[in-house]
Structure 1
Amino acid sequence: MTWLGIDTSGDVAVALVRTDGTSRTVGDDAPRRHVEQLAPFVRDVLAAEGLGVGDLQGIAVGTGPAPFTGLRVGLVTARVLGLALGVPVWGVPSHDALAAAAADVLDEGTPLLVVTDARRREVYWTAYDVRDGAAVVVGGPDVAAPADVPRRTGEVVVGGGRDVHPEVFGAVETPASDRAAGLRAPDPALLVRLAVARSAAGEPLPTEPLYLRRPDAQPPTARKRALA
């Protein structure tokens, strides 16, 4: 079986995952080019494996948290593909993929914080504990100014928000940090891994987006009539 993973919560990334666990991922970190890049990435990753969209058995898509426009591109693409092909579309929080990658290399009981850029001098954050080799949510997801994000002693911080605000999130260092230092963006192959496991366990996998705040662009409010 073959699954497609899509994440547009930050960078644009697409992965093709087979039943045997092998995967191929393509992506780019060019900002705000989600519409132009996503469809070609899907085409390219399938072509590289000699497959077409008709070979897909399911699609996993990152649900954020992330800004409105980029996240919407991935979710809409996944839903349209799923509807056209008649295959399931599973939603997985994008932070969970980052946390799962960190849990693979961190020790049992390690406190973990995932932070990604929310713009407006804010970050999206989710707190986890590493338990039995998995990342378990213990706080969030939420959006806040970096200085207002709850911190824990000895935690490991991963995600692109650390690069944007190193004066805040570079402050807590542990030996485990070195093993997770390169984790900056969600791997869509891990979205597939999580989706397949959660689906098998009967967990709900909604594709509703985690915007956590209203979009930047808002329709103008109605003008008040002046009294005659």
Structure 2
Amino acid sequence: MNVLAIDTATTDLVTGLVDPASGLIAERILKDTRAHNEMLIPTITELLEAAGMAFADIDAVVVGCGPGPFTGLRVGMATASAVGDALGVPVHGVCTHDAIGYATTGKVLVATDARRKEVYWAAYEEGKRIDGPEVCKPAILDTVAGTDVDAVIIPANLAAQLPESLRALPTHSAGPLPANLVVVADLQAQPAPLVPLYLRRPDAKEPAPKPRSSALSEVTK
């Protein structure tokens, strides 16, 4: 079984091909790129070529559904849906933080950049999510998530914004890996509709409704 894994919920663009029985086949991870929309399909194409495969060889798709910023997150989810529809294969959504927290031991906080000077966070114990995901300022993460943890996974550029109680703990940066995205997905279950975890309103605002035209009023009388 060949599973295409995609995640665009963070600044990294994550793609991979995984066989659930034998593990990772190939992966392409573009670090700290904001060009998810421009790079995702070319990266998937390159990934398939490197593995000696074609789109027709994909049996299922797993995609990270966030939490993540609106613009980047929808790129991965829309692409996953399009690939699934075109190939007639199932598409499974997973929480991006679950793929990060899966490989951890003990009690760990996982935080990612939410922009607007905030972080998305979730708490894990032995790789299983026990709280979250939620969004908050990094400076109050100890208040909302607690300090009964052994380590914090957070982007390096945000670690200094943690409260002192959490800065005293081991911290390191990590992102979702294709193999872990597939591991946390229930590939045997009927796929549920993809639901993005935005956790707040998107940055982009809908345009205000235009005033009703007097001419239109005449037509609809």
TM-score (norm 1): 0.82
Distance 2:191 2:108 in 1: 24
**Which of 118, 121, 131 lines up with 2:117 in the alignment?**
121
Secondary structure at 1:101 match in 2 = coil
What is the CA-CA distance between 1:199 and the residue it aligns to? 3.0
Distance 1:58 1:145 in 2: 36
Structure 2: segments with no counterpart, 5+ residues: 213-221
Question: What is the aligned residue count?
Answer: 205
What is the CA-CA distance between 1:49 and the residue it aligns to? 1.0
Question: Which residue is equivalent to 1:145?
Answer: 137
What is the CA-CA distance between 1:165 and the residue it aligns to? 3.4
Q: Does 1:217 align with 2:216?
A: no
- Measured on the aligned residues, the alpha-carbon RMSD in Å equals 2.1
What is the CA-CA distance between 1:220 and the residue it aligns to? 3.3
| Contact kept? 2:138, 2:161, Cα under 8 Å | no
Amino acid at match of 1:190: N
Amino acid at match of 1:47: E
Distance 1:78 1:144 in 2: 28
User: Bigger shift: 12-21 or 53-62?
Assistant: 12-21
Q: 1:194 to 1:154 in 2, by over 3 A?
A: closer
What is the CA-CA distance between 1:127 and the residue it aligns to? 0.9
What is the CA-CA distance between 1:22 and the residue it aligns to? 3.2
Distance 1:215 1:76 in 2: 16
Q: 1:129 to 1:204 in 2, by over 3 A?
A: farther
Question: Sequence identity, in percent?
Answer: 40
| Contact kept? 1:128, 1:138, Cα under 8 Å | yes
Structure with max Cα Rg: 2
Question: Which residue is equivalent to 2:76?
Answer: 74
Distance 2:159 2:91 in 1: 34
What is the CA-CA distance between 1:210 and the residue it aligns to? 0.2
Distance 2:200 2:116 in 1: 12
| Contact kept? 1:111, 1:152, Cα under 8 Å | no
Q: Does 1:157 align with 2:152?
A: yes
What is the CA-CA distance between 1:205 and the residue it aligns to? 4.8
**Which of 43, 46, 51 lines up with 1:44 in the alignment?**
46
Amino acid at match of 1:21: G
Secondary structure at 1:165 match in 2 = helix
Amino acid at match of 1:189: A
Q: Deviations over 1:3-23 (max 9, x none)?
A: 100000111110011231133
Structure 1: segments with no counterpart, 5+ residues: none
